[in-house]
């Protein structure tokens, strides 16, 4: 398998594919769906995303976006096999029974009988969770079973730092690690570990959730290329061999976020972006600042 940076050099559009360590292929830019449920037009936003060209959708049981995605797929008329759908099992469901039930509910809401990619959403339920290692091992084992049964095509993890991987206790490596990744918060240790083990990194919050759009350095690079800041940030991820998952509710931005393949960043620009001081960080951390910790 070619390394991910070399694979990305050959991409010509958002539906060019990375090849994963299990041999499956994944479109190189995905559409994020966090907070889509809070928008009353959720279903129409996904229909627009499909009609504009997106074929890869990142969802999660937590996001409650799956019902809108399921309805939008039916409405769009695009056949299921042409789409790539990710969902995730939330941190409170890290045991075989709950993980399986979570997947069953996701399949129902998405109106489909298989998921392209299933992820463990977060490695630990809470800071105080002393049994997180056992929970990851049994859940991962169940993920492997669900993959063997064919209801899931590929399996992976999210928000994993290097020390979390050993807890899976398996020779079968995740094919994806989905982490917060953008200039100003690059998590180089998680990135380097993943790349070294042939695990593709997916970038959540690739635009810093909008927080990088007015960043002075990125604005200078954008103006030098006569491109938008969003395009620079998404292109940056691809040039690092990382798969970005931008989310937008606006059709014009959906189109903008796809035009990433007619320019390239210089070594100096990549280096400047690599060295951007901490900014636009969500404040979340896999072990120390866990969302909805109790
Ligand atoms: N695994 C995890 O733990 C985890 C955590 C967080 C997120 N995620 C996934 O990653 C996806 C992306 O992360 P995110 O939604 O937090 O943040 P993001 O994609 O970095 O940023 C989304 C924000 O950027 C704006 N935006 C999008 N395109 C733009 C453009 N071309 N120009 C200007 N502004 C633009 C959007 O505004 P409008 O919508 O108003 O256009 C929205 O406010 C999520 O939707 C979710 O699927 C995963």
Taking the C-alpha atoms of residue 232 and residue 3, their distance in angstroms, rounded to an integer, is 22
pLDDT in tens, 166-178: 999 999 999 999 9
Q: Give me the catalytic one of 63, 185, 191, 236.
A: 63
pLDDT band at residue 103 using 50, 70 and 90 as cut-offs: very high
Question: Could you say which DSSP state residue 20 is in?
Answer: P
CB atoms within 10 A of CB 139: 22
| 8 Å CB contact between 188 and 168 | no
CA 153 to the chain's CA centroid: 16
pLDDT above 80 (res 108): yes
Reference 5, options 251, 211, 291, 270; nearest CA is 270
Alpha carbon of 182 to ligand 1 centroid (Å)? 11
pLDDT in tens, 38-71: 667 999 999 999 999 999 999 999 999 999 999 9
For strand 25-27 and strand 17-19, is the pairing parallel, antiparallel, or unpaired? antiparallel
Contacts of 18 (CB under 8 A, 6+ apart): 4, 7, 8, 25, 26, 28, 200, 243
| 8 Å CB contact between 94 and 136 | yes
In this structure, which residue's CA is closest to atom 22 in ligand 1? 209
Question: Could you say which DSSP state residue 279 is in?
Answer: -
pLDDT above 70 (res 83): yes
CA 268, 248, 206: angle at the middle one, nearest 5?
30
pLDDT of residue 294: 66
pLDDT in tens, 204-223: 999 999 999 999 999 999 99
CA 22 to the chain's CA centroid: 17
Write the burial class of residue 200 (CB in 10 Å: 0-12 exposed, 13-18 middle, 19+ buried): buried
Residue 185 annotated to the active site: no
pLDDT in tens, 263-283: 999 999 999 999 999 999 999
Reference 18, options 244, 204, 263; nearest CA is 244
**Where does ligand 1 bind, in terms of residues with CB under 6 Å?**
32-34, 58, 121, 158-159, 178, 204-210, 213, 228, 230, 245-250, 253, 256-257
Nearest atom of ligand 1 to the alpha carbon of 34? 45
Strands (E), 113-205: 115-120, 152-158, 176-180, 200-204
Sign of the alpha-carbon dihedral angle for 89, 92, 93, 95 = positive
What domains appear along the chain, each with residue ranges and CATH number? 4-274 (3.20.20.100)
56 is in an annotated binding site: no
Contacts of 98 (CB under 8 A, 6+ apart): 89, 92
To the nearest 10 degrees (0 to 180), the angle between helices 216-225 and 229-239 is 90
């Amino acid at each position: 398998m070619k390394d991910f940076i070399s694979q990305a050099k050959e991409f010509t559009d958002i539906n060019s594919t990375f090849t994963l360590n299990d041999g499956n292929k994944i479109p190189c830019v995905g559409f994020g769906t966090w907070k889509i449920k809070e928008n009353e037009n959720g279903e129409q936003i996904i229909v627009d995303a499909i009609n504009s060209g997106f074929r890869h959708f990142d969802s999660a049981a937590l996001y409650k976006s799956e019902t809108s995605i399921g309805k939008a797929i039916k409405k769009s008329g695009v056949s299921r096999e042409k789409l790539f759908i990710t969902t995730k099992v939330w941190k409170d469901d890290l045991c075989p029974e709950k993980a399986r039930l979570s997947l069953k509910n996701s399949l129902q809401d998405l109106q489909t009988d298989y998921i392209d990619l299933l992820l463990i959403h977060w490695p630990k339920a809470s800071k105080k969770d002393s049994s997180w290692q056992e929970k990851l091992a049994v859940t991962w084992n169940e993920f492997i079973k669900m993959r063997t049964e064919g209801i899931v095509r590929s399996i992976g993890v999210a928000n994993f730092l290097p020390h979390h991987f050993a807890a899976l206790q398996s020779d079968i490596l995740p094919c994806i690690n989905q982490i917060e990744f953008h200039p100003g918060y690059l998590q180089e240790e998680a990135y380097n570990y993943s790349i070294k083990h042939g695990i593709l990194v997916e970038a959540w919050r690739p635009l810093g959730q909008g927080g990088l759009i007015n960043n002075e350095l990125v604005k200078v690079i954008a103006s030098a290329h006569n491109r938008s800041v969003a395009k620079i940030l998404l292109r940056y991820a691809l040039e690092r061999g990382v798969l970005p998952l931008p989310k937008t509710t606006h059709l014009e931005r959906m189109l903008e976020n796809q035009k990433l393949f007619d320019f390239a960043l210089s070594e100096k620009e990549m280096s400047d972006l690599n060295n951007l001081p901490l900014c636009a960080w969500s404040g979340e951390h896999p072990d120390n600042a866990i969302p909805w910790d109790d």
